[in-house]
Amino acid sequence: MPPTPCSLCHTARALVKRPKTGQQVCKDCFFEVFETEVHNTITEGKGIFERGEKVAIGASGGKDSTVLAHVLSVLNKRYDYGLDLFLLSIDEGITGYRDDSLETVKQNQIEYGLPLKILSYNELYGWTMDKIVEQVGRRNNCTFCGVFRRQALDRGAAQLGVDHIVTGHNADDIAETVLMNIMRGDIARLGRCTAVTTQSEDTIKRSKPFKYAYEKEIVMYAYFKKLTYFSTECIYSPDAYRGHARVFLKDLEAIRPSAIVDIIHSGESFQLEQSVQKGMKAMQTCLRCGYISSNDLCKACALLEGLEAGLDRSALRQTQANSSTAPVGHRTIPMFERYSNIGVAQPTEGIEKAVQTIEIK
Amino acid sequence: MSNSDDIVTTSNGLGYTSNSAAHPESLVKPPMAPTAGEDTIEIKIEFGGGLHLLFSSQPSHKINVPRNIANSEDGQPQPVNMRYLVKWMKSNLLSEREEMFGDGDGVRPGILVLINDADWELEGELEYELRDRDEVVFISTLHGG
């Protein structure tokens, strides 16, 4: 086949076929359209960032967060967002997996000149994933890891005093989550999983600048830019349900590449009826650790109590603990204080508290 | 447009670091490969995104394949193509879990293929006719975020 010319500059040789549009583009035009589309996601409407914001990039050392750190550094300079960027990594304590990928994050820290904070499950919860798996087995450990990581990111961000966490979730991830929420009937999450920025459930604003970036393009970008990233499968059992959704989505994409943005669009278009919205639980704060929660105890405190009690897999199904004090001798999670360094008076409780805390600057 | 980022890396962009099991410079000649000659061509194969774990943990391979193969319909000689290479890799190079790499005649959805740094979707995919010293890169996108 003769080389195809780039459909944008019409001079250089096309090297990438864009899955979203079918466009055939050269390397330089690919970098430009990829970066510009992320910029558009960031600035659309009111925009996700405010000038002067402190922003933590959730960095795992994997392809998505590595490309995100790179692209955000570039765009912050090119368009003068005025952001103060940080790298925030969570060390789950998985020997031979996370310790290697954290080395990659440290390399990124040097390459991008961004300050790095690493917060470990061990210092926060007193448990590493290695120890958790030893106790609960391989079947359900992803539940622990997911709940603990989400909260750890917020706590790490609070310690850094940042206003905003950005993650490398890409279009494929979001389409996958839309499918999973439909299959699980999780209406509450279906409603918010396609938002670029979420604030309702979290105490700290979270955004996904790669919402419309295809995984294929992220990997191509990393390859052509020769970025340092790390890719190894977690050594513990993968999230089987997500795995199936992922394979299904990749099969769809192979037949019709626009399937991914189409599913995101469907997710965005769902509207909840008022009666459904009323049935959803209001948010409050965990009685034990102060983290935002839909029950008296947040999931992390409930899971931790099960671990501390020496329960095995049944820790997941144990009777709902609801006391504000942990049983004697159990380790607990430190109190969550968003602006502990400023000394703001704590407002009222529940969802109101969450909203007010966010507005205080 | 200038990509005016001043970020310098020494990485190959394939998703492994030098301290991991991968050593890009160590090249393996598999025992089944014919020796290079007039009737064969040399192909460089690289793996990224963790795929090397399926290929004896070697991220880079140099192999020799026949210059011409028999056409499946009329048996006439035709230049060797990607279809042959993928099949050849499955029987000669793959060390484990074939379902993680192959799907029918091709590769599993979610594995990117680049031929001489170009997306193989622009090059005819399985029908691409290989030339001596072509470089083919396979990158898995399936895990790690």
Is residue A6 one of the residues assigned to a domain? Answer: no
Q: Is A121 found in the same domain as A188?
A: yes
pLDDT over threshold 90, residue A351:
no
Is residue A18 one of the residues assigned to a domain? Answer: no
Residue in A15, A219, A251 nearest the CB of B141: A219
A151, A171, A156, A203: which is closest to A38 by C-alpha? A171
Helix (H) or strand (E) holding B69: strand B68-70
Q: Is A332 found in the same domain as A252?
A: no
Q: Is A157 found in the same domain as A50?
A: yes
For residue A320, what pLDDT band results from cuts at 50, 70 and 90?
low
What is the b/e burial string over A107-140, where b = at least 16 CB atoms within 10 angstroms of the residue's CB? Answer: bbbebbebebbbbbbeebbebbbbebbebbeeeb
Determine which of A46-60, A130-144, B33-47 has the lowest per-residue pLDDT on average. Answer: B33-47
Q: What angle do CA A75, A216, B18 make, to 5 degrees?
A: 80
List all residues 6 or more positions away from A337 whose beta carbon is below 8 Å from its beta carbon: A158, A290
Give B-chain residues touching A170 at CB under 8 angstroms: 145
Give B-chain residues touching A70 at CB under 8 angstroms: 5, 7
Give A-chain residues touching B96 at CB under 8 angstroms: none
Is residue B94 one of the residues assigned to a domain? Answer: yes
Which of A226, A252, A278 finishes a domain?
Answer: A278
Is residue B78 one of the residues assigned to a domain? Answer: yes
Pick A192 or B5 by higher pLDDT: A192
Determine which of A182-191, A295-304, B28-37 has the lowest per-residue pLDDT on average. Answer: B28-37
Tokens representing A43? Answer: 């600035």
A73 and B5 within 8 Å at the Cβ level: the answer is yes
Is residue B34 one of the residues assigned to a domain? Answer: no
Q: Is A227 found in the same domain as A251?
A: yes
- A312 appears as a binding residue in the annotation: no
Distance CA A299, CA A202 (A): 14
CATH of residue B76: 3.10.20.30
Is residue A168 one of the residues assigned to a domain? Answer: yes
CATH of residue A218: 3.40.50.620
Determine which of A78-82, A162-166, A233-237, A248-252 has the lowest per-residue pLDDT on average. Answer: A233-237
Is residue B120 one of the residues assigned to a domain? Answer: yes
A356, A343, A338, A179: which is closest to A283 by C-alpha? A356
pLDDT of residue A33: 97
Half-sphere exposure of A131 (CA within 13 A, CB side): 12
- Residue A324 burial (CB count, 10 A): 11
Is residue B128 one of the residues assigned to a domain? Answer: yes
Is residue A124 one of the residues assigned to a domain? Answer: yes
Determine which of A69-78, A86-95, A136-145, A318-327 has the lowest per-residue pLDDT on average. Answer: A318-327
* Domains contained in chain A, number: 2
Tell whether A68 lies on the interface with B, counting CB pairs under 8 A.
no
Q: Is A327 found in the same domain as A222?
A: no
Residue in B7, B14, B53 nearest the CB of A223: B14
Pick A272 or A334 by higher pLDDT: A334
Averaged pLDDT, A32-60: 95
Q: What angle do CA B30, B31, B37 make, to 5 degrees?
A: 85
Q: Is A177 found in the same domain as A299?
A: no
B112 and A228 within 8 Å at the Cβ level: the answer is no
Q: Is A302 found in the same domain as A264?
A: no
Residue in A13, A15, A64 nearest the CB of B145: A64
Q: What is the mean pLDDT of chain A?
A: 84
Give B-chain residues touching A228 at CB under 8 angstroms: 9-11, 13, 17
Q: What is the pLDDT of residues B56-105, one digit of tens each?
A: 989 999 999 999 998 878 888 999 999 999 999 999 999 888 888 988 89
Q: What is the pLDDT of residues A49-84, one digit of tens each?
A: 999 999 999 999 999 999 999 999 999 999 999 999
Which of A278, A302, A336 finishes a domain?
Answer: A278
Pick A191 or B86 by higher pLDDT: B86
A224 to chain B: closest CA residue: B13
Is residue A5 one of the residues assigned to a domain? Answer: no
Q: Is A117 found in the same domain as A65?
A: yes
Residues 116-175 of chain A whose Cβ lies under 8 A from any Cβ of chain B: 168-170, 173
Which of A238, A260, A278 finishes a domain?
Answer: A278
* Domains contained in chain B, number: 1
SS3 (DSSP) at A98? helix
Q: Is A157 found in the same domain as A116?
A: yes
Is residue B25 one of the residues assigned to a domain? Answer: no
Is residue A44 one of the residues assigned to a domain? Answer: yes
pLDDT of residue A350: 38
Is residue A344 one of the residues assigned to a domain? Answer: yes
Is residue B85 one of the residues assigned to a domain? Answer: yes
Q: What range defines the domain where residue A157 resides?
A: 30-278
Q: Is A310 found in the same domain as A237?
A: no
Q: Is A155 found in the same domain as A59?
A: yes
Kindly write down the DSSP assignment for every residue of A221-288, as one continuous string.
HHHHHT--------SSPP-HHHHHHHHHHHHHHHH-TTHHHHHHHHHHH----HHHHHTSPPPEE-TT
Averaged pLDDT, A227-237: 80
Q: What range defines the domain where residue B114 resides?
A: 40-140
pLDDT of residue A277: 66
Is residue A353 one of the residues assigned to a domain? Answer: yes
pLDDT of residue A343: 36
Is residue B19 one of the residues assigned to a domain? Answer: no
B16 and A253 within 8 Å at the Cβ level: the answer is no
Give B-chain residues touching A79 at CB under 8 angstroms: none
- Please give the DSSP secondary-structure letter assigned to residue B100: G
Q: Is A164 found in the same domain as A105?
A: yes
Give how far B120 is from chain A: nearest CA, Å: 8
Tell whether A97 lies on the interface with B, counting CB pairs under 8 A.
no
Distance CA A130, CA A126 (A): 12
